Structure 1
Amino acid sequence: MDTIVITANDYILVLLGDPSLPYPYNPEQRFNAHDLEMVAALRRTLDRLTGWRFELVDDHRQFSAGLAYRAPRLVLNLCNTGFGNHPERQLHVPALLETLELPYAGAGPACMALCHDKQAVTRIAGDLGVPVAVQAALRLSGDISLPPGIRYPAFIKPNFGDGSTGVTPDALVTNAAAARRHCHRLAERFPGGWVLIEHYLPGPEYSVGLIGNPGTDLSVLPPLELDFSGLPPGQPPILTEAAKVAPDSADWQGVALRPAELDSERLAVLRGDVSRVFERLGCRDYARMDYRCDGAGTPHLIDVNPHPMWGFDGMMATMAGYAGHDYAAFIELVIDAASRRLEAR
């Protein structure tokens, strides 16, 4: 029997996380109500877009077999959960799309692998002249011996991964004893892993979104600032893991997003910096970069997310809103950016 291949010029395949599988990123070990609402809002939004036919695929058992029988104009890779809902396997999804030679929106596997190594990103950005935090790497194995030259207060975070994984209020340490205690706690969760110990940057924290591609249509969205004023008294102003995965937590509810207040000179520098980093790391179509300011107000790059969350209330959609784009227009901008890049090959 002949194989039927689904194909059409207006056909876009949308890949999502699998709600039927465990999801270890969330405290509940499964999709929570907020995750399901994001998908529902996406469905409603795609139904409103004209000129395209969308098929949403969230059964990861189809990713290997089912995708081979589809020939979409574009695959919109919104699978931030990683293949099989394993966050460390985010890059496996674009790797599969590459193997199947399917055109897709967003970062490739090499870019994702590079950006998940935070120390590598810091070194590359620093070589480009972008301000970065002073940091040292430490492996969480055996007798934990802190590297020399640490200046306190310091901030400790896992080197690999994203989503503020492993970041708790205790990540901000004021002395060596506290640093060792926190590293031992992280070693229990990430045995043999690597952490970065950074000089703490006490100023505001910003996020900068980009849509498009270098040399053609790369656009920097108006940055946002994280407002930590709603956190419990005495809690440090840092974005913890709970602030991203636990909607009922004080960390989630205590952090708000607001437009960043930056003077024109600093904003111009920031736009130039993120554009160079975007191109150097091989980001495509859309990405988000996070900054934290030192005591003098100078923004320092702290993270690059080449595969940022796409939800209606997320940072990317919020910054698109600052630029006058509603959620539907934000999704269309990503689709258009990928389409133009692929057509130019």
Structure 2
Amino acid sequence: MRIAVVMGGASPEHQVSLASGKGIVKAVEILGHMAIPMVIDADGNWVDGQHEAIEILQACDVTIPALHGEGGEDGRLQGFLEQLHVPYVGSGIAASAVGLDKHLTKAVLRAHGIPVTPGVTLRGAELTDTEAALQKVKAAGLDFPLFVKPGNGGSSFGVSRATDLPTLLAAIADAAVLDPQVLVEREMVGREIDLAVLEFPDGRIETAPALEIHPDPNQPFFDATAKYDSAATRFVVPAPLDPELAERLRRTAIDVFEVLGCAGLARVDFFVPSDGDPVVNEINTFPGFTPASQFPRMWAAAGLSYAEVVDTLIRTAVARG
């Protein structure tokens, strides 16, 4: 088959996407298919030209949109591909759009009884009106330390930890540069556990063994530096979990996938407090996909190689049409 692999994009995760795309291209070639790398530059333009890109995409059997963040993981590229009637890997327009929007994700999950990180969303005048922002934060019962993050995006870009009013205001201003919605959330003290969800060609939805994150202790939290530039960050998979907790996380991850209407793949990230119930932090509908990323690491622990995971994604997309 001819497989288009789209990578890059205009989001802050441009370089991460290029790394994911290169890994996928190699796997596609190992599987015996023809890989067609397609790059969207940092300004959001197709490097091959838009008309040429359309011709290439329509000549391919399947497209893998290996984009992270705004412009690629938010439903826009998915809508473009659907207009071209091109089969593609992963979630559709609605699930992609909701999945990237942290506020909408948590609103939907909360409405379905799925516990999420406690927090509020600031928008409009609240981003610059200190009194209005503080009233909203206090009304939600939130106290320092707090985490502040853009409403859309990933890889911890624009995420800050605030310990007092000056750092909170600075964090809100930094996050507002990246998105008109800013989430302010309670710091969750406990374990960080990820679950990889994969859809198979026959419609089965399964999870791999859970992964636990041990961030670089020299970083303030699991930020972009700890994720991509630190040798001190450790990923433990399978995570040491008692059977009851492991099953609860597995079931919740699948519930999140199904409630949001996801397809193909997703990574669901949890906080597990030592004195409370697990809460969903976020979902990534196209998670980091380098050979060293969490998603393929978890499936490797389940016995599926990187290439076999890519093969599953392709065959599932073909089966779905």
Give the TM-score of the pair, scaled to structure 2.
0.84
Q: Return the alpha-carbon distance in structure 2 between the equivalents of residues 174 and 97 of structure 1.
A: 44
* 2:156 counterpart of 1:164: yes
Partner in structure 1 of residue 43 of structure 2: none
* 2:43 counterpart of 1:65: no
Q: Return the alpha-carbon distance in structure 2 between the equivalents of residues 97 and 119 of structure 1.
A: 26
Alignment of 1:243-254 (within 5 A): 243-244=226-227, 247=229, 252-254=230-232
Quick one: structure 1 residues 17 and 181, their matched pair in 2 at CA, closer, same or farther if it must change by over 3 Å? Answer: closer
* 2:10 counterpart of 1:11: no
Quick one: structure 1 residues 63 and 293, their matched pair in 2 at CA, closer, same or farther if it must change by over 3 Å? Answer: farther
Alignment of 1:172-321 (within 5 A): 172-187=161-176, 189-190=177-178, 193-212=180-199, 216-228=203-215, 230-232=216-218, 235-236=219-220, 238-244=221-227, 247=229, 252-259=230-237, 260-296=239-275, 298-321=277-300
Q: Which has the larger Rg?
A: 1
Deviation readout 1:138-172 (Å, 9 max, x if unpaired)? 235332231223223322222222221201xxx33
Aligned-residue offset at 1:341: 2.4
Q: Return the alpha-carbon distance in structure 1 between the equivalents of residues 153 and 21 of structure 2.
A: 23
Deviation readout 1:309-339 (Å, 9 max, x if unpaired)? 2211111111111111111112112112222
User: Aligned Cα RMSD in Å?
Assistant: 2.7
Q: Return the alpha-carbon distance in structure 2 between the equivalents of residues 224 and 42 of structure 1.
A: 21
1:76 to 51, 60, 64: 64
Q: Return the alpha-carbon distance in structure 2 between the equivalents of residues 239 and 300 of structure 1.
A: 17
2:129 to 143, 168, 172: 143
Aligned-residue offset at 1:202: 0.3
2:118 to 131, 134, 137: 134
3-state DSSP of counterpart to 2:108: helix
Indicate the percent of aligned positions where both proteins have the same amino acid.
25
Aligned-residue offset at 1:295: 3.3
Moved runs in structure 1, 4+ residues, more than 6 A?
none
Are the counterparts in 1 of residues 117 and 281 from structure 2 also a CA contact under 8 Å? yes
Are the counterparts in 2 of residues 211 and 337 from structure 1 also a CA contact under 8 Å? no
Structure 1 unaligned segments of length 5 or more: list them. Answer: 1-9
Aligned-residue offset at 1:40: 4.5
3-state DSSP of counterpart to 2:82: helix
Q: Return the alpha-carbon distance in structure 2 between the equivalents of residues 184 and 40 of structure 1.
A: 34
Deviation readout 1:270-314 (Å, 9 max, x if unpaired)? 111111211121211111111112231532101011121221111
Quick one: structure 1 residues 138 and 177, their matched pair in 2 at CA, closer, same or farther if it must change by over 3 Å? Answer: same
* 2:133 counterpart of 1:152: no
Quick one: structure 1 residues 58 and 266, their matched pair in 2 at CA, closer, same or farther if it must change by over 3 Å? Answer: same
Quick one: structure 1 residues 128 and 322, their matched pair in 2 at CA, closer, same or farther if it must change by over 3 Å? Answer: same
- Aligned residue pairs, count: 304
Partner in structure 2 of residue 49 of structure 1: 31
Partner in structure 2 of residue 330 of structure 1: 309
Aligned-residue offset at 1:214: 10
The one-letter code of the counterpart of 2:29 is D
